[in-house]
A and B are shown apart, each in its own frame.
Chain A
Amino acid sequence: MATLSVSRAPLGGFSFENCKRNAVLEADSAKLGSSVPAARKTGTTICGIVFKDGIVLGADTRATEGMIVADKNCSKIHYISPNIYCCGAGTAADTEMTTQIISSNLELHGLSTGRLPRVATANRMLKQMLFRYQGYIGAALVLGGVDCMGPHLYSIYPHGSTDKLPYVTMGSGSLAAMAVFEDRYKPDMELEEAKRLVRDAIAGGIFNDLGSGSNIDLCVITKGNVDYIRPHDEANKKGVRVNELETLCQTGDYKYKKGTTGVLTKVITPLNLDTVGEHVQTMDTS
Chain B
Amino acid sequence: MWGILFYSVPVTGFCPHGSYGVQDTLRSGFSSVKNEILPSHPLELSEKNFQVNQEKMNFATVRNIQGLHAPLKLQMEYRAARQIQRLPFLQSSNLALDTLRNSDESIGFEDILNDPYQSELMGEPHMMTEYQLGLL
Chain A residues packing against B (C-beta within 8 Å): 2-16, 19-20, 23, 97, 101, 104-105, 108-109, 112, 129, 132-134, 136
Contacts and interface: CB of A to CB of B under 8 A. Distances in A.
B113 A6 contact: no
B116 A12 contact: yes
10 closest residue pairs by CB, A with B: A12-B110, A13-B110, A19-B40, A4-B123, A10-B116, A16-B44, A19-B41, A20-B40, A16-B41, A6-B131
Interface of B: 17, 27-28, 35, 39-44, 46-48, 50, 88, 105-116, 119, 121-124, 127-128, 131, 136
A102 to B, nearest CB: 9
A11 B48 CA distance: 9
Contacts of B48: 11
B109 A12 contact: yes
B105 A112 contact: yes
A101 B47 contact: no
Nearest to A102: B107
Contacts of A10: 114, 116, 119
A109 B106 CA distance: 8
B94 to A, nearest CB: 10
A3 B43 contact: no
B31 to A, nearest CB: 13
Nearest to B130: A6
Contacts of B128: 6
A13 B44 contact: no
A5 B28 contact: yes
A261 B73 CA distance: 94
Contact of A5 (B27, B105, B112, B122): B27
Contacts of A11: 48, 110, 114, 116
Contacts of B43: 14, 16, 133-134, 136
Contact of B122 (A4, A6, A15, A105): A4
A15 B50 CA distance: 14
A7 B43 CA distance: 22
Nearest to A4: B123
A13 B50 CA distance: 11
B123 A15 contact: no
A108 B116 CA distance: 22
Contact of B27 (A7, A14, A109): A7
Given A16-B40, A16-B44, A3 B121 contact: yes
Contacts of A9: 88, 116
B109 A101 contact: yes
